[in-house]
Structure 1
């Protein structure tokens, strides 16, 4: 059974996956796999770009999203025309010759990966480029989006070959419970960052130990400020309240009530070492 393995730590937001999908499907009729994708309005693989934090402590997260080719696909269950089916290799296909345009599949998809083509009156989505995989397996072993990814952030293949990756991966939307066949590593998690400086000398403080303590569980996260006085505390749980303690040369600064409802850049933090 095929899977997509997506490593967000090496995705640089080049949009090659999205462009390759357009190149393959816009203006091309691949019946019985899919009718042509519209020029605009649909991205069968779409790259979401989110700016996180506060200037100057900012990161950009890129997340490719496509049909998850779920093992428990609600779209298949909801389709009254029996136009949606799962192939033996795990890919889910909407038969363009059977689709009656009822939109039930699009409404039921928790991954927002099914689109409606008003002109053709049918639902459409990623096919895993199954027309290529079937036409010439020796030349095409992966979909176009995978073939064009310059950093190999998106890979495709047999589930057993990605066993180690899958063991470290996590669902994009765990609450969906659809047994997705798209696995992600490096999904964005909350961070708290800042720059520590000495206000009298107006110099950054290097080597200060910055420790976050979860005010509810007592769990701690710790980093040391860099040569620029910066600290980045990453991989934090959502919607928690923390106390930040900064320590250097016997001096201490405590900042309570920092929450992770959003990614937080705390800016410049003065700390008196005199």
Structure 2
């Protein structure tokens, strides 16, 4: 669970079946949610599952019951041997997790959902746009040295195709719209508008 600030599961609740605590943790009330399997479909991240035995929806609670008992962090953070997980107060700029976010090294999972998740990730794969340039009038011959320009409305990136006719732009912002211009001597330039938010191999 990403414990979203704009959680669809909380917004869809009609009787407090799913609620957000003052500390930001999103919880499911086991009594109020009993028999309400439709709660599962409210989460676009698909992190809510159905407990057939108990007839209730369930998900990660960030070990809220342990935090209430004085624990400093959830079990997963405590148990991880590689220190891959951080936990702390996002409202305190001096915590390790706040400093990590401030460094710009973290990102949201599916930022296009606009849910303001309180769980963030490091080293998320960045969007890429790649392709291969072939000349139809030369029996689909691969072409080296084709000028490919990537535009996002404010700036441009340029690369040239390699010996296999391939080009690639990576580390791109998933929230931006892009277009590419293909230029090669003796041919008319061609511009393509690209679908936003998706990796593309042209």
Alignment TM class, shorter chain as reference: 0.5 to 0.7
Which residue pairs with 2:88 in the alignment? 157
Unaligned runs of 5+ in 1: 1-66, 197-203, 267-274
- Between the aligned partners of 1:149 and 1:176, the Cα distance in structure 2 is 32
Change (3 A) 1:131 1:173: same
Which residue pairs with 2:129 in the alignment? 191
Offset, 1:125: 0.9
Unaligned runs of 5+ in 2: 135-142
Change (3 A) 1:255 1:146: farther
Which residue pairs with 1:82 in the alignment? 16
Aligned residues: 186
Change (3 A) 1:220 1:149: farther
**How high is the TM-score relative to the length of structure 2?**
0.63
- Between the aligned partners of 2:166 and 2:83, the Cα distance in structure 1 is 28
Change (3 A) 1:217 1:82: closer
CA contact (8 A) 1:99 1:123 kept: yes
Structure having the higher strand fraction is: 1
CA contact (8 A) 2:89 2:98 kept: no
Residue among 113, 116, 139 paired with 1:179: 116
- Between the aligned partners of 2:86 and 2:20, the Cα distance in structure 1 is 20
Which residue pairs with 1:128 in the alignment? 62
CA contact (8 A) 1:116 1:123 kept: yes
**1:191 alignment partner, SS class:** strand
Q: Which 10-residue stretch deviates more, 71-80 or 221-230?
A: 221-230
Deviations 1:36-63 (A, max 9, x none): xxxxxxxxxxxxxxxxxxxxxxxxxxxx
Structural RMSD (CA): 4.2
Offset, 1:87: 3.0
Change (3 A) 1:178 1:217: closer
CA contact (8 A) 2:148 2:180 kept: no
- Between the aligned partners of 1:126 and 1:90, the Cα distance in structure 2 is 13
Which residue pairs with 2:140 in the alignment? none
Which residue pairs with 1:166 in the alignment? 101
Change (3 A) 1:217 1:93: closer
CA contact (8 A) 1:172 1:187 kept: no
**How high is the TM-score relative to the length of structure 1?**
0.49
**1:156 alignment partner, SS class:** coil
